[in-house]
Amino acid sequence: MTRIAALFVPLFPLAALLRSNPGLADRAVAVYGGDGTVARISAVSRRARAAGIRPGMSLAQARAIVPGIAIRRRDPVAERSAHDALLEVANGLSPRVEDTADDLVLASLDGMERLFPGPEGEEEIAAIARRAASKLGLFIRTGIAGSRLAARIAARRPAPVTIVPTGGEAVFLAPLPLRVLDLPAHLKRRLLRWGITTLGGLARLPAPDVARRLGAGGEAAHRAARGEDPTPLVPRHPEPLLTEGMELEWPALRLETLLLAAGELITRLMRRLDAVGAACALLELELALDPEGIDRREIRLPAPSTDDHALAGIVRLSLESSPPQAPVAAVRCTAHPGRPRRAQLTLFGAAEMSPGELATVLARAEARLGPGRAGSPRVVNGHTPGAVRVVPFDPPPPPKVRPQRRSQRPGWLAIRTLRPPVPLEVIVEPHGAGSQDAHARVRPVSLRSLTGTALHIQGLVRAAAGPWRFESGWWSEAPLNRDYWDVEVSDGRLYRIFCDRSDESWYADGIYD
| CATH number of the domain where residue 250 is located | 3.30.1490.100
> Quick one: 311 and 357 in the same domain?
yes
Structural domain contains residue 317: yes
Q: How much is the pLDDT for 441?
A: 72
- CB contact set of 246 (below 8 Å; sequence gap of 6+): 261, 264, 265, 330, 331, 332
Structural domain contains residue 173: no
Overall average pLDDT of the 77-103 stretch = 85
Q: How much is the pLDDT for 369?
A: 74
Q: Provide the pLDDT confidence category of residue 507 given band limits of 50, 70 and 90.
A: very high
Q: How much is the pLDDT for 402?
A: 63
Whole-number percent of the chain with pLDDT over 90 = 13
> Quick one: 382 and 455 in the same domain?
no
> Quick one: 397 and 419 in the same domain?
no
Give the C-alpha separation, 386 to 431, whole Å: 28
Report DSSP state, residue 386. T
The amino acid that residue 400 corresponds to is K
Structural domain contains residue 72: yes
How high is the mean pLDDT of the chain?
82
pLDDT digits (tens, 9 = 90+) for 139-188: 999 999 888 888 999 999 989 999 988 888 888 988 988 888 878 888 88
> Quick one: 156 and 191 in the same domain?
no
Residue 46 or residue 475, greater confidence: 46
Give the C-alpha separation, 285 to 332, whole Å: 6
Helix (H, G, I), strand (E, B) or coil at 453: coil
**Statement: residue 18 has pLDDT above 80:** yes
Q: Note the residue count of the chain.
A: 513
> Quick one: 329 and 367 in the same domain?
yes
Give the C-alpha separation, 14 to 289, whole Å: 41
Report DSSP state, residue 213. H
Q: Provide the pLDDT confidence category of residue 506 given band limits of 50, 70 and 90.
A: very high
Provide the 10 A C-beta neighbour count for residue 104.
22
Structural domain contains residue 102: yes
Give the C-alpha separation, 125 to 7, whole Å: 11
Whole-number percent of the chain with pLDDT over 70 = 87
Domain that holds residue 51: 1-167
> Quick one: 419 and 385 in the same domain?
no
Overall average pLDDT of the 359-384 stretch = 72
* Buried-state track 373-400, b at ≥16 Cβ within 10 A, e below 16: ebbeeeeeeeeebeeeeeeebeeeebee
Q: How much is the pLDDT for 476?
A: 76
* Buried-state track 57-77, b at ≥16 Cβ within 10 A, e below 16: bebeebeeebeebbbbebbee
33-47, 82-96, 227-241, 429-443: least confidently modelled range: 429-443
Q: CA of 256: how far to CAs of 325, 340, 365, 370, in Å?
A: 15, 30, 21, 19
Structural domain contains residue 234: no
Dmax over CA atoms of the chain, in Å, equals 95
> Quick one: 160 and 80 in the same domain?
yes
Helix (H, G, I), strand (E, B) or coil at 464: strand
Structural domain contains residue 118: yes
* Highest mean pLDDT pick, 123-127, 281-285, 364-368: 123-127
Give the C-alpha separation, 502 to 482, whole Å: 8
| Distance separating the N- and C-terminal Cα atoms of the chain | 69
> Quick one: 299 and 398 in the same domain?
yes
**Statement: residue 90 has pLDDT above 70:** yes
The residue from 346, 374, 402 where one domain ends is 402
Query: 223 — phi, psi (to 5°)?
Result: -70, -40
Structural domain contains residue 75: yes
Strands 328-338, 388-391: pairing is unpaired
Q: How much is the pLDDT for 418?
A: 87
* Highest mean pLDDT pick, 205-219, 347-361, 394-408, 435-449: 205-219
> Quick one: 339 and 252 in the same domain?
yes
Q: How much is the pLDDT for 250?
A: 80
- 124, with CB counted inside 10 A (0-12, 13-18, 19+), is middle
> Quick one: 152 and 7 in the same domain?
yes
* Highest mean pLDDT pick, 224-238, 267-281, 449-463: 449-463
Structural domain contains residue 230: no
Strands in 29-33's sheet, in edge-to-edge order, are 40-44, 29-33, 70-73
280 closest CA partner among 306, 317, 249, 259? 306
Give the C-alpha separation, 378 to 399, whole Å: 21
Overall number of domains in the chain: 4
- CB contact set of 169 (below 8 Å; sequence gap of 6+): 145, 146, 147, 149, 150, 226, 227, 228
- 509, with CB counted inside 10 A (0-12, 13-18, 19+), is buried
**Statement: residue 237 has pLDDT above 80:** no
> Quick one: 394 and 279 in the same domain?
yes
> Quick one: 257 and 393 in the same domain?
yes
pLDDT digits (tens, 9 = 90+) for 302-346: 667 777 887 888 788 778 878 888 898 888 888 888 776 665 555
